[in-house]
Amino acid sequence: MDVASFFIALIGPLLYALTNHIDKILLEKYFKKGGVGTLILFSSLLSALALPFLFMADTTALSMGGMSILALAVVGILNVLVLWCYLLALKDEEASVTVVFYQLVPVFGYMLGYFILGEVLTRMQLMAMAIIIFGATIISFEIDAENKFKLRRNTIALMLAAAFFWALESVIFKAVALEENLWRSLFWEHLMLVLVGIGIFTFIRSYRRHFLSAIQNNSKAILLLNATNESLYILGNIAFSFAYLLAPIALVLLAESYQPIFVLAIGIFLTIFFPKISVEKIQAKHLWQKVIAILITGIGTYLLFVS
């Protein structure tokens, strides 16, 4: 993967880091009741905003083959599953802790790329994957007030699922995009995400009720913040999608390992300068745990990059 591709891939994690903190703020301050369902519906339905632009980028999008459309329908469902697992974890956990588990995405990406796309794994890459897993294990334990360690069972289960679903959807998307083209694939991915959102709105009553309540009871500024959040997420997806076509899937996904660095930096900044907006644990013991976990997974990332 050349330098240009790597920096294109880094745009995604930076934008995702911003959305992580906005998600946390929305869940804690504005959508306390039914926030997970509300944000899922906002995310899926607001994907419609991208459709006109994606169609203009490729006006032949509607001519895509049936099997490719079916595959991208699966991608749309996986997108929602990633968001659902992540939001459930984020609701009860710090953003800087939750996103560290996304460092496992390239590990799953390598495995899926090997079995589905026939991409080759070297001994160095396998060792790097083990290092990333070890780094993620460090953040799997919570340090309480008595300096005792407690396993974050719920967070681990939810974020392992989210990381796997993210890697799987990326592999499927790359397979389709290589067969079709980027813009056509992005158009159908977002269309399917909208359709999934409509299905959730129609058939899940509690999500529908909380979503409508959020629209009625929150100010235009809060709704604009959510729209901005989803726009940043869509732009991050587009940046990643460009990178997917330039390099092996797992090497692009490893750029996701930089997301915790961005999230931690933003979290520290908000805690110090804007504590009324968002606060994270930045005491020495918590900060060291996060930094060590990020550094170790960073070593794994570097080994993956040079191998």
| pLDDT lower than 70: segments of the chain | 1-6, 117, 244, 247-254, 256, 305-307
pLDDT of residue 3: 66
CA 115 to CA 106: how far, in whole Å? 14
By 3-state DSSP, what share of the chain in percent is helix, strand and coil, each rounded to 5?
Answer: 85, 0, 15
Report how many helices (DSSP H) and strands (DSSP E) the chain contains, helices first. 14, 2
8 A C-beta contact, residue 247 and residue 1: yes
State pLDDT tens for residues 153-197. Answer: 999 999 999 999 999 998 888 889 888 888 899 999 999 999 999
Number of Cβ within a 10 Å radius of residue 63: 9
Q: What is the largest CA-CA distance in the chain?
A: 61
Region for residue 118 given its phi and psi (left: phi exceeds 0; alpha: psi -120 to 50; beta: otherwise) = left
**Ramachandran angles phi, psi of 60, nearest 5°:** -95, 10
pLDDT of residue 307: 66
Task: Give the start-to-end residue ranges of the domains of the chain.
Answer: 3-306
Note the Cα 187 to chain centre separation in Å: 19
**Ramachandran angles phi, psi of 142, nearest 5°:** -95, 135
C-alpha separations of 257 from 10, 114, 296, 300 in Å: 9, 20, 11, 9
pLDDT of residue 153: 93
pTM score of the predicted model: 0.87
CA 60 to CA 183: how far, in whole Å? 10
CA 162 to CA 2: how far, in whole Å? 28
**Ramachandran angles phi, psi of 149, nearest 5°:** -100, 130
pLDDT of residue 197: 95
